[in-house]
Chains A and B, each alone.
Chain A
Amino acid sequence: MNSDKITKYFLFAGSLLILVVAGGMVFSLVGGAIPAFHKFGWHFIVSSDWNPTEGRENYGALPFIAGTLITSVLALLISIPMAFSTSLFVAEYFRKTPVASVLSSLVDLLAGIPSIVYGLWGFYTLRPFIMHLGLSPQGFGVFTSGIILAIMIIPYATSLSNEIITMVPNELKEAAYSLGATRLEVIFNVIVPNARSGIVASYILAFGRALGETMAVTMLIGNDNKIPHSLFDTGNTMASVIANQFGEADGLKLSSLIAIGLLLFIITALVNTAGKFIIKRLS
């Protein structure tokens, strides 16, 4: 065998690692979740009872699935006006000006702040503010978590949309201007229709980020194993319940937490694949 072939096989062998890791992940999650699904069946997903008392153990993931979806959707709704405005500011209104580059590097900073630091800021600054507004007695809950998540995902929502908005051909915009369109009309009749799928894809990917966020949510959601009934109610997410309950878990409880991990894995994988699929269709 000549050396070129050896090199080729060497590269191929190296690329197997990620395949093995991904396969092993699915294998371990499914294997670890089997006892829980075997015991509870489909009730695991639709039951909202979480009872670790020995002898009457019963685990249902519905409150956490609901908590994850509610906080993430709320985060997305809050972040869209901010992310969209920032994108227009950076990629359209003040394109290539120093103020735009300052804004976009500040937004990049957001991506560099660790999750636990967001949690601390939410706990010591945002939570008292929510209490001060009289929205909730302790300041914990879905709303507080949603705001923090919204701030955390803004850089993910803007980075791709900025690029897409910049790529809208100038000729199209100029044509609209020459017909007498105002900037606002150009934005909503030329830029948004042209960049729509890219913008949607970036918001989907940002949503995927929110689904899996752990530390900040754990510190702010109130860690209550029930379906939140209002925006200011406490709850728990799939990620936060794993972080909270893992320390004392074994047996059926550990298996239930792994099953929640598996569900979270599936949901985030689906959301991310949808986002990437749209991006791939673009290019």
Chain B
Amino acid sequence: MKVTTIRDNSNARNTKNNIFLGVVIFFSLLTVLPIILIVGELVVKGIGQINLSFFTEIAPDTLQAMVAKANGETIPGGIANGITGSLLIVALAAVIAIPFGIITGVYLYETPGKRYSNLIRDIADVLQGVPSIVLGLIVYLWVVKHITHSYSALAGSVSLAIMMLPLIIRSTEETLKMIPGTLKEAAVALGVPYHKIILRVLIPSSFSGLLTGILISISRILGETAPLMLTTLGNPRINWDITHPTSAVPLLIWQFYNDPNMVELIWSSSLFLMGFVLTLNIISKRISAKHSIN
């Protein structure tokens, strides 16, 4: 009689298993490391520069910064022109993108199977992947060259609005899909006119989802630098005229980075920018967690 021996290799298999777990934990920690290093470095280097005048005064010029540095003082001034510029540009971008984004999202939700809807959906997907610098180029050709005839806040807003648009369209459609169909049916059964169904039923019941989508899209565009370099250029003063060159916080960071006298200001400005973006992110996560339909 033949005896088959089954080799017991469970030890080797268990060892491999444990080694792999170790590798996974190692690489996961390696992923976390840069986050901690980046946030830590910004906080350590930037917090000292943040004071009241950081928010109320405009950016210093090279000479002021050089004199202050030579005397061993902290560099005067702040980033008020950048903050107001960012507010202006982002607010205008939101005003352009939000209504069109929501209208298009509602349209896609209302006409799901149509070939035209699929086309719009595909275009939104492609548009979402277009590099922001390419959007800057295009808006330069459209707005800077033909509408405002100079670098302008409006041009920056248009480029950022194009970035926001596909995000809002898709988040609107996805949010609407989660509303129970019975709500709409009830309204239809009561004979409510179509526009009132949209304004009084669909949008209010998906409000938190829409808000989350809007906040996320704003947090995506707040830190954008590349398209603004090609469209709004920057401005040493506070400017509220949308047809004039305007500064923005990321543009100021770029300017400080390129000027050896002002390089110390990059940390506080970056800390401010990142803090703002992350706060928006956290708020939007909170809203969506609170109101998620389960």
Contacts and interface: CB of A to CB of B under 8 A. Distances in A.
Interface of A: 3-4, 6-8, 10-12, 14-15, 17-19, 21-22, 24-25, 28-29, 32, 81-86, 88-89, 93, 103, 106-110, 112-121, 123-125, 151, 154, 182-185, 187, 205, 208-209, 211-215, 219, 239, 242-243, 246, 257-258, 261, 264-265, 268-269, 271-273, 276
Interface of B: 13-14, 16-17, 20-21, 23-28, 30-32, 34-35, 37-39, 41-42, 99-100, 103-104, 106-108, 110, 119-120, 122-135, 137-138, 140-142, 162, 165-166, 169, 193-195, 198, 219, 222-226, 229-230, 250, 253-254, 257, 266, 270, 273-274, 277-278, 281, 285
Contact of B162 (A21, A187, A242, A271): A21
Contact of B126 (A93, A121, A272): A272
A119 B110 CA distance: 43
B281 A108 contact: yes
A125 B38 CA distance: 9
A268 B219 CA distance: 22
Contact of A18 (B23, B124, B230): B124
Given A108-B281, A116-B254, A261-B137, 8 more contacts: A3-B193, A11-B110, A19-B120, A125-B37, A243-B226, A246-B140, A261-B134, A268-B130
Contacts of A121: 34, 37-38, 41
20 contacts: A4-B194, A7-B193, A11-B107, A14-B103, A18-B127, A81-B27, A86-B31, A103-B31, A107-B31, A114-B222, A117-B253, A119-B257, A121-B34, A125-B37, A182-B13, A211-B131, A212-B129, A212-B133, A213-B131, A246-B230
Nearest to B39: A109
**Majority SS at the chain B contact face:** helix
Nearest to A265: B134
**Majority SS at the chain A contact face:** helix
Contact of A22 (B13, B123, B194): B123
B142 A114 contact: no
B226 to A, nearest CB: 4
Contacts, number: 236
Contacts of A21: 127, 162, 165
A268 B131 contact: yes
Contacts of B23: 85
A237 B219 CA distance: 26
Given A18-B165, A82-B31, A269-B130, A182 B14 contact: yes
Contacts of A115: 223-226
A114 B225 contact: yes
Contacts of B110: 8, 11
Contacts of B169: 18
Contacts of A208: 129
Given A15-B107, A114-B223, A117-B274, A28 B123 contact: no
